[in-house]
Structure 1
Amino acid sequence: MNKTIRRTSVFALLLVVAVMVRATWLQAVDGQALADDQYNRRNLVAQYANPFGNIIVAGQPVTGSAATTGSDFKYTRTYTDGPLYAAVTGFSSQVYGTTQLEGIYQKVLNGTDAQTRSLLDVLEGSHGKPGDVITTIDPAVQKAAYSGLGTKNGAAVAIDPKTGNILAMVSTPSYDPSRIAGSSSADAQAWQQLSNDKNQPMVNRALRQTYPPGSTFKLVVAAAALQDGLYSSVDQPTSSPNPYTLPGTTVRLTNENAAAPCANATIRTALEYSCNTVFAKMAVDLGQAKVKAMADTFGFDSSHLDIPVRAAQSVYPTNMPASSTAQTGIGQFDVRATPLQMAMVVSAIANGGTLMAPHMVSKVTDGSGDTIQSLNPQQQSQPISANTAQQLRSAMVSVINQGTGTNAQIPGVEVGGKTGTAQHGVDNSGNPYAWFVSYAKNGAGKEVAVAVMVDDPNAVRSEISGNGLAGPIAKSMMQAALNSSS
């Protein structure tokens, strides 16, 4: 054998060895990873080979499964009142994956979770009987929020302060998850349409988007001032010039209502008239560290707020000059909050200062209806004392009875709230966000805390107010919660 043939033979042998090593590696090491890959079509086909379990609202499924023809996917996910519950369920798509509760509980719902499979299922390599996810959503409150928001861009959240149960979560404009559940060209077209929609209907504004909270954040600043002892009660006069010159600047902060009695106003009066000067000065007097500490106990700056879907992180900024601290006192500068977060603030105040961890799933069951996970109410934090909470509620009632929040009055019911109008955009060029946060308690022991945010780019700027746009929606949600039999 000459030298050239020998080298060629050795090279060929090395190639064979390399192929054998690679094949062995794929089978022994990468095989399971490839089998489990989310893009493995065999897994997707198996996932949709059987009907799914359901997401349950007030004892009734709001999801379903439909047999398909002409596809290797035997079943397609369906949704009852899809747009109404989309912010809760999310979607389960044969092509585009899963979101929200559909994503978190995917294995329970398709029967592949270990707790839904019997020993025989495991031995045979088959799926178990799909389980269900039971939510805390109250359909009456959900419908009130959805109907109230209508065609507006916005979001609404309602929480039971005593348990943390989320009674409603709505984001508008919404979408029908059924339109993108399959793998047809119509589903692809619907996906493209939704993805290109400038109003972003698939974004959960209630949970996954943050906004400047505007004057609703004054509740946090007032809580910090009372808890810290800066002021002993909501009826003690504050040290608040009107107008107020922002520290280190020549900028004079004024109030929207020039006739409002904001100079040295009490916290009660300042909340009634939403005096910017009072709370800007109060934030500076407290200092950003104390305001941030209070905000954080309410849930701000937490990157792991799971309900069980993870919420976007609400933010109170740091390392600011005093002039910016003043702006945070009125919920501006770089303060950002989800509607869920502002509902949590009101929930804690309504619940005597105790913040119960918000959640929208009460339990998860297997295919036989047996509970495999129970999510009981848990305390998240104690932001303020019972005394501070009582004083804030008293002032919030004044806001509703004779202040800026009169649109949320409910005869015979204790209602407390706070309005907000938050500026945004370059040089505040965008239409303001209209906020309304409130709580209601009736004589039967029912309570609810609500946050509503409306972003209406088509509204006349001078007519945008929390009381006008968001107040009536909050009122209808509170009425639905108090009158509900759930």
Structure 2
Amino acid sequence: MIRYIRWCAYFCALLLAALLANVARVQVWESAAYGANPANKRPAIDRYAEPRGDILVDGRPVTGSRDSGQLLRYERTYTDGPLYAPVTGFSSQTYGTSFVERAEDAVLSGTDPGLSAFPLWYDLSRGRPGGGNAATTLRAAVQQAAYRGLGGKRGAVAAVEPATGRILALVSSPSYDPGLLSGTGTRVKAAWERLNADPTRPMLNRALRETYPPGSTFKIVTAAAALDAGVVTDVDAPTRTPDPYRLPGTSTLLPNAAAGCAEASMAEAVQWSCNTVMADIGVRVGLRGMVEAAERFGFNDEGLRVPSWVSRSNFDTDMSPDQLALSSIGQFNTKATPLQMAMVAAAVANGGELRTPYLVDRTTRDDGSLVRRTDRRTLSRAMSPATALRVQELMVKVVEDGTGRNAAVPGALVGGKTGTAQHGVGNAGTPYAWFIAWARGQGAPQPAVAVAVVVEDASAVRGDISGNGAAAPIARAVMEAALRAGTA
């Protein structure tokens, strides 16, 4: 009898060992697979069991959380959702996250190890700290000025602090309310389908993700390339460029919209936006010189993050001379995001040093203590300080007595450049109106803001559409707001 009991004990011990082995297998080796299984609802339930941390503008939250009483308990809410949507993106139980909500998801959702001094404790207890906050670099007044300036027109605005790279405004229009995508159910699904079917593409972040032909605003890059390469040594010297200009190796004539461009100097070509002179200068700089100059400004960079990823701005690396001529005035295959063109203006304003743009200044715990702060970095030396000084003077002349008078700000020094970009099959599309600029307050040691504005659907007769008419007033309003915010 005792022998049978012993065998029974051995068998029970074997079963216990098998049970423990299976528990270890499930908890250790199979846990990742079970956690990732779509049928497992626990991760989603845990994710939304607590309020999400907030995104801050000027120290105040522009997001929040609402107790829905549902299984996925807390839903995201947004203050002034359409105003800040290109920055915050959305956080949806149904469709995931985008932009800062995605880039800083670990902090906002409370899963970042940096939120706790003892992260192992939360791993063992299967708990988590409260969601942290992401403090942006935006200035609310600058963001509002850009949003009001576009007034619902298709387009975008990007404004940057030249000395640091802090993004002060990032607006895409038309916009949408990301709160429509919070939660689950038919209401959220219907909103998603409606937004994606909208021909104006309100969920497209035009400031970061759309690329446009920059038109004549790219002439600032060409001017900097020519000065750095020594192709132009005297900006006031007349050139030998005819009007119209025959594109090299072709019979195609390139005209000017402005009068008096024949043999104009580079200074006059920037001031009055002469296509012929700047196209010829680009050809004289040469393909290699123009490519290197464009890349110093940030073109062809596929790795830019702010922290959301930014579309690559393009300047072709293999072109014939006639294509190079057109590319040097921002046409052919040259494409740029509004942020990229704000970076061009910022590099000029900052003495040729291009700072890496960034949108999140710091992340904090829910009690306000610091998790991490974004380091300010130099992206490149876009041009020499001497060249930057000369280009600044050229841009100031554009605003004071050239094509960009509508950007003038009383009491401030403003430099700018207009652009009207042709596009579409046979250039049949409504031209894009561009303006890039920087502004320095009276008595200030350095410029406070650099801005780029693009308007896709300028309301004017096609031949009258210009950066000065459609985009410069928006840039002026943004610069005025930035100058006021800097002295507040």
Q: Normalising to structure 1: TM-score of the pair?
A: 0.92
Q: Distance in 2 between matches of 1:463 and 1:415?
A: 24
1:226-269 C-alpha deviation (Å, 9 max, x unpaired): 00000113222223221110111111111012xx2212211110
Mapped pair 1:433 → 2:446? no
With over 3 angstroms needed to count, the CA separation of the structure-2 counterparts of 1:40 and 1:319, relative to structure 1, is farther
CA distance in 2, matches of 1:233, 1:298: 23
Closer, same or farther in 2 for the Cα pair 1:23/1:210, shift >3 Å?
farther
Alignment of 1:230-245 (within 5 A): 230-245=231-246
* Worse-matched range after superposition: 262-271 or 343-352: 262-271
Task: Name 1:423's counterpart in structure 2.
Answer: 422
1:63-96 Cα offsets, whole Å, 9 max, x none, are 0001103x21111000000000000001100000
Alpha carbons 2:50, 2:130 under 8 Å: kept = no
User: Which residue of structure 2 lines up, in the alignment, with residue 157 of structure 1?
Assistant: 158
Q: Which runs of 5+ in 2 are unaligned?
A: 1-21
Q: Is the 1:54–1:62 contact (alpha carbons within 8 Å) kept by the matching residues of 2?
A: yes
1:318-397 paired onto structure 2 within 5 Å: 318-397=317-396
SS of the residue 1:95 aligns to:
coil
Task: Please state if 1:58 is matched with 2:58.
Answer: yes
The structure-2 alpha-carbon separation of the partners of 1:373 and 1:39, relative to structure 1 and needing over 3 Å to count, comes to: farther
Partner of 2:410: 411
List aligned pairs for 1:195-210, cutoff 5 A: 195-210=196-211
**Paired position in structure 2 for 1:166:** 167
Equivalent residue for 2:131? Answer: 130
Distance 1:199 1:233, change over 3 A: same
Determine helix, strand or coil for the equivalent of 1:224. Answer: helix
Query: Partner of 2:112 in structure 1?
Result: 113
> How far apart, in 2, do the equivalents of 1:401 and 1:68 lie?
56
Shift of 1:372: 1.4
Contact 2:432-2:458 within 8 A present in 1 as well: no
Q: How does 1:2-401 map to 2 (within 5 A)?
A: 29-36=29-36, 40-69=40-69, 71-117=70-116, 118=118, 119-257=120-258, 260-401=259-400
Q: Describe the shift of the 1:33–1:265 C-alpha distance in structure 2 as closer, same or farther (beyond 3 A).
A: farther
Secondary structure at the counterpart of residue 201 of structure 1: coil
1:47-67, CA deviations, whole angstroms, 9 ceiling, x for partnerless residues? 111001100100100000011
Q: C-alpha distance in 2, partners of 1:201/1:311?
A: 17
Task: Render the CA deviation track for 1:29-51: whole Å, top value 9, x for unaligned.
Answer: 45404414688532222111100
Q: Name the CA distance, whole Å, in 2 between partners of 1:310 and 1:68.
A: 32
How far apart are 1:449 and its partner, in Å? 0.2
Instruction: Report the CA distance shift for 1:180/1:39 in structure 2 as closer, same or farther (over 3 A).
Output: farther
User: Over the residues paired in the alignment, what is the CA RMSD in angstroms?
Assistant: 1.8
Residues 90-117 of structure 1: CA deviation (Å, up to 9, x unaligned): 1100000000010011111111111124
Q: Secondary structure at the match of 1:436?
A: strand
Q: In 2, Cα distance between the equivalents of 1:377 and 1:239?
A: 44
Q: Could you tell me which amino acid in structure 1 is paired with residue 396 of structure 2?
A: V
Aligned residue in 2 for 1:17: none
> What whole-Å deviation, never above 9, does each CA across 1:128-174 have from its counterpart, x for those lacking one?
12111011000010000000011100000000001111000000000
Q: Which residue of 1 aligns with 2:4?
A: none
State the Cα distance separating 1:272 from its structure 2 match: 1.2
Look up the equivalent residue of 2:287 and give its one-letter code: Q
Give the structure 2 partner of residue 15 of structure 1.
none
Alpha carbons 2:161, 2:449 under 8 Å: kept:
yes
For normalisation by structure 2, the TM-score amounts to 0.91
**Partner amino acid for 2:415?**
G
- Taking the aligned partners of 2:44 and 2:217, their CA distance within structure 1 comes to 45
SS in 2 for 1:155: strand
In 1, the alpha carbon distance for the partners of 2:39 and 2:471 equals 43
Equivalent AA in structure 2 for residue 469 of structure 1? A
